[in-house]
């Protein structure tokens, strides 16, 4: 049986976006665009990746994405890790102070000399929001192209892992849809 071509669409889109910064991402975030000559591998900017909830910087999926980008000739790919171990990195995607995490990443990226001339950034799921916070709060080194994959920039619906919807899930979904920023829900 022939394989469905759907799984190839994401890698193809990533390849095009990394090589052509004209797809600079989310309309709500102004990121200066920079034309890159994709035939000149020395002109390619490093890429910063920020994973989503329940993932780590270096799990198999993130490593595959990192390898895919490196295979394009990108000189340096940095996958953001929060914590001293992979387990802590995953844990902090659920429990952690996002403001502190973004401040930590601002400091770490600013101190990385390989990123000094700017980066292209790819955020997956909640990593998209965290990269957006990075762009708004510090953006040093500057993000030249920002790609948000599965980011919830226009809000959140539902509750991850809430299937089948039992009474607890239904309550959580109701609270999330009636007032995500209310004191009770927060």
Question: Tokens 């909640």 belong to which residue?
Answer: 126
Tokens at 51, concatenated: 């994973």
pLDDT band at 21 (very low <50, low <70, confident <90, very high): very low
Strands laid side by side in the 143-149 sheet: 77-79, 47-50, 119-124, 143-149
Mean pLDDT, all residues of the chain: 78
Closest CA to 36 of 79, 74, 67: 74
Identify the bridge partners of residue 143 per DSSP, sorted by sequence position.
Answer: 119
Query: Hunting for tokens 């973004």 — which residue is that?
Result: 102
- Please tell me what DSSP assigns to residue 42: G
Beta bridge partners of 146: 121
Q: Which pLDDT score, from 0 to 100, does residue 18 have?
A: 47
Confidence of residue 24 (pLDDT cuts 50, 70, 90): very low
pLDDT exceeds 60 at position 9: no
Biggest distance spanned by C-alpha atoms of the chain: 57
pLDDT (tens digit per residue) in 116-141: 999 999 999 999 999 999 999 999 99
- Selection from 54, 65, 168, 61 nearest residue 122 by Cα: 65
């Amino acid at each position: 049986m022939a394989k469905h071509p759907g799984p190839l669409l994401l890698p193809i889109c990533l390849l095009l976006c990394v090589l052509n910064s004209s797809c600079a991402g989310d309309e709500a975030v102004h990121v200066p665009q920079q034309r890159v000559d994709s035939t000149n591998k020395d002109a390619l900017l490093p890429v910063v990746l920020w994973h989503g909830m329940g993932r780590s910087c270096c799990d198999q999926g993130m490593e595959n994405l990192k390898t895919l980008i490196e295979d394009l000739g990108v000189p340096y790919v940095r996958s953001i890790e929060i914590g001293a171990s992979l387990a802590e990195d995953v844990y902090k995607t659920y429990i952690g102070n996002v403001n502190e995490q973004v401040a930590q990443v601002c400091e770490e990226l600013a101190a990385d000399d390989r990123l000094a001339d700017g980066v292209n950034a790819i955020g997956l799921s909640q990593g998209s929001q965290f990269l957006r916070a990075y762009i708004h709060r510090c953006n040093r080194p500057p993000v030249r192209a920002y790609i948000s994959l599965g980011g919830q920039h226009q809000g959140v619906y539902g509750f991850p892992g809430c299937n089948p919807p039992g009474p607890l899930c239904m309550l959580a979904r109701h609270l999330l849809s009636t007032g995500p920023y209310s004191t009770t829900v927060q």
